Structure 1
């Protein structure tokens, strides 16, 4: 079993760094300060979906723009909420308004579907604001773990930025509030609810009613564009009345007519009247008019498209790519997707999300799911769900192999009639100079809502093994992108499934990988308890290597709990047992952890010896990230020993390597070491610059209250204003930037 590859990746940093300025000072040897904060400029996000034609909404658009004008005059951000029935055109109105603002808001456009009607429940505000932060240039590893910290960073980044935000299909005002930007940004919210609570936040609330008959006829004419409306005006009015003036229903009915250029509007009116009678008892919030139009469109689909429509109604997530459709229907899916799109039954979200991706309007999804329940047998639905689940499992496994090619994964099982060869492969090839690993991580992150939906659905659908297999395959994403909530939830669900099935190997993997997530969220006691359970299980199963690896894990938990002596005992046992059992890399990590404790206790000689030994083994094992961490620790120990030239060489090399690995948290430790080195050389101004950057990095990764950050701030405050370089400085005491995040064995 392989453990935590990058235990500190949840706190890594790359991209644009905010909040500090690096000034020039005296630079000696190989220390490079000028590039310390330099990052490639991130282009503004342009996430809004494309606009669709709207009619009869001029008054609403004027009201929205007038509200923006008043807010701008008052120096306030603009907040507007658009409410109305499903299918009434709320999103279309919001998009029509926001797209006109692009020239005035060069900071970009953010978009989120808040999923009030989604099958897996409304979107979590913490997940959404994390996506916004990444879109604004905050690397995933730099996104803080807690919602409050994420919101604070989001408000800081948007305070001086001119951008627009669309929060689509909101469930409640409470869901919306954490997502409101600061400064003079513009935010539009759409919801079926009127949300008067947003008025307390300065919001302007408008409610959309159905289109007037004339406006509906105009929309129908634009949809057909073939003269039939002019030739049959009364029939067109009757059709719009049957659609209750809902734009979605008008467009769906119009798309069906457009596909039948010889059919008279009268025939559609007759058919829609019959559907109204059939669906009247099923009306929910006035959406029977849309349902009637949906039934007619469905009946006009080719058989393959109709079946794909039903099967996609079973998809557990909000969005899906074309490969999912190919997995369900083979190559026939390409033509079927086109038919569904042409019939206005699928929304193309490629412009907002990249790639070939689709989603259903929530009413359309409900309609497709209802038809699947009616027309597909229980076995057929079960097979379709399994194919969807195995599609995500197979492709997550492919991504995992790209990111961590040497990782020993849990066995992937494809049973019950699912042929792995028939599962379509997702395209997550590198673009724009990306590495293959970054592209694979991007795919995992984009599909994470679907992966989590499969994990949650695995036990209810009778395939519990999918819960732990998908969780294990998705593992590289959680620490590298700092996705703490999903990390804990996925492993909790995977553990329940593994224990119910009596799978000891999977249970141990879920315990150890999940416990590392607990440590990242600060739940150290629970993490330790989970490691202890895994250790007992390994021992019962006679797995000596697995048990030895838990020594490192348990030591890490005790270290986080402040129990340094107990932690050192566990690390020492791991350092002795793991190499004897054939895991040299994990043994080296145990020695790194021993060095970490020695450094914190001021035992610099021991720290330097253990860290250097760890570095040599990690380099030989092909682990540059942890080798760089070990070099940084050696450098800090050498500062304490007064070996300043050696310290400079080690710290400079470590900083360069950690920047290449975008490891901001670890880079902050190294900057603390460089600051102490500058102090020892009497370079107070240089030391202050390093401390400022270190403090800023700690804050940026949500660790501003950590012992390391507190120590760095204290040293910064203690330094006097810049004096002549070369004046003597008192030798430092124990290194305040000692790393308390030593990695467990792998």
Structure 2
């Protein structure tokens, strides 16, 4: 358990549009420009395919639809529906895997979670993952769903790729995820989706296998001659499985593990399970559940217990370390037993590492067995182990990403931690690998946050939310940012922990600023300020002065913002936080610059730079230098302006800080204008506009100003000469602009 002195999030910067341009949030949030990166490998995310039988007609229909769509120049969309366990995903994968040679642009996969315990996946979250897989740097993924979808379709317009949207809940969930161009998309769902026909989709509905095909599947699962030796018994067995491939495979796996057992014994046992389920009046999916009960009864005790405990897992997927956290050293062998029994699906090829998931029917069965075979205390203890496992690893990730951030106390036992793999570079996990792990596990982490209070562990909610802080602004996960902090605040209040509540208020309010809700953010900052004041926490209260200044600045109240920044610049150093005080002074300089008080801006920005350099904060020091340089342009101190702006641009480019680099380029452009160099000014403005566009800020006030000034500098369109009037000859004195 790590204990830390409390420290709220430091944030400096000007708030624009729908995002906070952050100066430093305990380590900085840096973004870079350029659209999709060309050096990113193609995504190949489809899970491995499994053997299918008797689906020739369906595969032929899917391929015929694709060929017709290509002939018409349209994207291909196909929806495969059917009962749970009927093989929808298997058919879609069998088709899509054959297309790989013809679609070199890659393969995208998403489990849309119609049957998931934490509810269907959010389309905005999914399309964000797709954009990153296609090479869009994380800082350039737009915050709004509409903007994400527009970028996704732009990137896929000329790309040949296939997309599998598995277990969809509704057509509305699917539509934002449809690529453009001549891409191929397959959707699976238990529901028929006639609405997708309006989008050009071909809808097919899978029926259970014929008896002959189901027998063939059973024979291939066993591969030992028993089906040929007992054909009638094999037919009886697949009839009890109702032709559902999932049930046939589970029954076959049980038989395969018992090579000396005849099929007759399996038929008898499965018949008895059917009768038991009917007697208990369990509705639906009897055939799969009967096979699951038999398979469960045949598991080794450790595997059976892991099956039950994993049935309590609140998310859709899990890795081997989660199983180890639940069961200890026996987990690897137990996982192998569950996989061999066809009770787990290996999704490692799709998501990397050691990853598993249950078919939704299997998960429901495992949870039911846990409710029946584990006591309430044992179930709660298992959930706490899962939650603390995720908390411990989120804590590790946070320490890698933001090592300077002071953390609240975390409630887990280090000696019991099973470390997740964050990816290594030279044997050392890096910040990007830690961020990737947090984002990959975010559905599971959010599920724990939601579950913490109901299971009597409210501290898990706010501790895990606090550990997730580095992820939200860096990957622009605004919906989760808001939801986690709302739940974390309720949990902290329920636990009576004012320190934790203030952290939830301030971190959550920063999310409000980032999503264009400064009034709500201001109310949260003021509530935290009152709490700090009441508890005598001078440092916490001083930090809220800076935060409240940002909110007032966003609300169009620069004088009130400047007053708060000035108070913060005085109070924070007095409380021992020199760096935070310098950030407040930088914000004060920014307000002065926006009001045309360039001398004040230059003085405060330079003072901020000196302190930030001494504190080792190179990023914010470069921002301060850039602001000093821009102020010097207006003051006519052109030599110093060039020195400050050039140094700032070099530093900001090295840190991939796209927005701030664009602001400095705007300053260099104005410097060139003052020196009578319109060609150079145009070059700087064009580069600045390109950067603003690449970081999703083409509509910002800075971009608008650069666009206007560039337009004023553009040479006029040449006028066609009047054929009646002779133009200048070779010795004429007409002069052209070199950039015309």
Assess same fold via TM > 0.5. Answer: yes
- The aligned residue for residue 422 of structure 2 is 428
Query: 5 Å matches for 1:248-327?
Result: 248-280=246-278, 286-327=284-325
* Distance (whole Å) between structure 2 residues aligned to residue 658 and residue 433 of structure 1: 28
Q: Give the Å deviation of 1:434.
A: 8.8
* Distance (whole Å) between structure 2 residues aligned to residue 432 and residue 129 of structure 1: 31
Query: 5 Å matches for 1:143-542?
Result: 143-280=141-278, 286-414=284-412, 419-431=413-425, 436-542=430-536
Distance 1:431 1:524, change over 3 A: same
1:670-700 deviations in Å (ceiling 9; x for gaps): 2322332333344434433433333343334
1:106-145 deviations in Å (ceiling 9; x for gaps): 1111100000000010000110111111111112221111
Query: 5 Å matches for 1:610-689?
Result: 610-689=604-683
* Distance (whole Å) between structure 2 residues aligned to residue 593 and residue 283 of structure 1: 67
Q: What secondary structure is seen at the aligned counterpart in 1 of 2:556?
A: coil
* Distance (whole Å) between structure 2 residues aligned to residue 282 and residue 132 of structure 1: 44
Q: What secondary structure is seen at the aligned counterpart in 2 of 1:137?
A: coil
Distance 1:160 1:367, change over 3 A: same
Distance 1:625 1:284, change over 3 A: farther
TM-score (norm 1): 0.91
Q: What secondary structure is seen at the aligned counterpart in 1 of 2:424?
A: coil
Distance 1:726 1:85, change over 3 A: closer
Asked if the contact 1:638–1:646 (Cα under 8 Å) also holds between the matched residues in 2, the reply is: yes
Q: Give the Å deviation of 1:155.
A: 1.0
Asked if the contact 2:33–2:695 (Cα under 8 Å) also holds between the matched residues in 1, the reply is: no
* Distance (whole Å) between structure 2 residues aligned to residue 128 and residue 696 of structure 1: 27
1:656-681 deviations in Å (ceiling 9; x for gaps): 33233332222222232233233334
Asked if the contact 1:554–1:570 (Cα under 8 Å) also holds between the matched residues in 2, the reply is: yes
Asked if the contact 1:83–1:194 (Cα under 8 Å) also holds between the matched residues in 2, the reply is: yes
Asked if the contact 2:8–2:506 (Cα under 8 Å) also holds between the matched residues in 1, the reply is: no
Is 1:3 equivalent to 2:3 in the alignment? no
Distance 1:689 1:199, change over 3 A: farther
Q: Give the Å deviation of 1:437.
A: 1.3
Asked if the contact 1:15–1:42 (Cα under 8 Å) also holds between the matched residues in 2, the reply is: no
* Distance (whole Å) between structure 1 residues aligned to residue 426 and residue 173 of structure 2: 34
- The aligned residue for residue 606 of structure 1 is 600
- The aligned residue for residue 97 of structure 1 is 95
Asked if the contact 2:33–2:140 (Cα under 8 Å) also holds between the matched residues in 1, the reply is: no
Distance 1:560 1:280, change over 3 A: same
Higher Rg: 2
1:619-663 deviations in Å (ceiling 9; x for gaps): 221222222222222222222233334333333332333233332
* Distance (whole Å) between structure 1 residues aligned to residue 503 and residue 259 of structure 2: 60
Q: What secondary structure is seen at the aligned counterpart in 1 of 2:182?
A: coil
Q: Give the Å deviation of 1:336.
A: 0.5
Asked if the contact 1:11–1:701 (Cα under 8 Å) also holds between the matched residues in 2, the reply is: no
Equivalenced residues, count: 703
* Distance (whole Å) between structure 2 residues aligned to residue 46 and residue 678 of structure 1: 47
* Distance (whole Å) between structure 2 residues aligned to residue 54 and residue 544 of structure 1: 67
Q: What secondary structure is seen at the aligned counterpart in 2 of 1:80?
A: strand
* Distance (whole Å) between structure 2 residues aligned to residue 184 and residue 293 of structure 1: 42
Q: What secondary structure is seen at the aligned counterpart in 1 of 2:83?
A: coil
Match of 1:136 among 130, 134, 137: 134
Q: What secondary structure is seen at the aligned counterpart in 2 of 1:517?
A: helix
- The aligned residue for residue 70 of structure 2 is 72
- The aligned residue for residue 123 of structure 2 is 125
Q: What secondary structure is seen at the aligned counterpart in 2 of 1:110?
A: strand
Asked if the contact 1:88–1:208 (Cα under 8 Å) also holds between the matched residues in 2, the reply is: yes
Q: Give the Å deviation of 1:560.
A: 0.7
Match of 2:31 among 8, 13, 17: 13
* Distance (whole Å) between structure 2 residues aligned to residue 616 and residue 17 of structure 1: 34
* Distance (whole Å) between structure 2 residues aligned to residue 455 and residue 703 of structure 1: 32
1:346-392 deviations in Å (ceiling 9; x for gaps): 11111111111111111111000000000000000010011111111
Match of 1:545 among 536, 539, 545: 539
Q: Give the Å deviation of 1:714.
A: 1.8
Q: Give the Å deviation of 1:522.
A: 0.3
Asked if the contact 2:307–2:366 (Cα under 8 Å) also holds between the matched residues in 1, the reply is: yes
* Distance (whole Å) between structure 1 residues aligned to residue 163 and residue 155 of structure 2: 14
Q: Give the Å deviation of 1:495.
A: 0.6
Asked if the contact 2:33–2:658 (Cα under 8 Å) also holds between the matched residues in 1, the reply is: no
Q: What secondary structure is seen at the aligned counterpart in 2 of 1:330?
A: helix
Q: Give the Å deviation of 1:238.
A: 1.3
Q: What secondary structure is seen at the aligned counterpart in 2 of 1:331?
A: helix
* Distance (whole Å) between structure 1 residues aligned to residue 405 and residue 262 of structure 2: 63
Distance 1:650 1:218, change over 3 A: farther
* Distance (whole Å) between structure 1 residues aligned to residue 614 and residue 186 of structure 2: 54
Segment drifting more, 600-609 vs 654-663: 654-663
* Distance (whole Å) between structure 2 residues aligned to residue 682 and residue 64 of structure 1: 64
Structure 2: any 5+ residue segments left out of the alignment? 1-6, 13-19, 23-27, 717-734
- The aligned residue for residue 587 of structure 1 is 581
Q: Give the Å deviation of 1:497.
A: 1.0
- The aligned residue for residue 59 of structure 1 is 57
Distance 1:55 1:450, change over 3 A: same
Superposed CA RMSD in Å reads 2.0
Distance 1:589 1:685, change over 3 A: same
* Distance (whole Å) between structure 1 residues aligned to residue 322 and residue 477 of structure 2: 24
Segment drifting more, 581-590 vs 255-264: 255-264
1:561-590 deviations in Å (ceiling 9; x for gaps): 111010000000000111011000100001
* Distance (whole Å) between structure 1 residues aligned to residue 424 and residue 633 of structure 2: 41
* Distance (whole Å) between structure 2 residues aligned to residue 138 and residue 12 of structure 1: 14
Asked if the contact 1:444–1:477 (Cα under 8 Å) also holds between the matched residues in 2, the reply is: yes
Distance 1:627 1:283, change over 3 A: farther
Distance 1:255 1:652, change over 3 A: farther
Asked if the contact 1:11–1:665 (Cα under 8 Å) also holds between the matched residues in 2, the reply is: no
* Distance (whole Å) between structure 2 residues aligned to residue 285 and residue 690 of structure 1: 68
Is 1:566 equivalent to 2:572 in the alignment? no
- The aligned residue for residue 4 of structure 2 is none
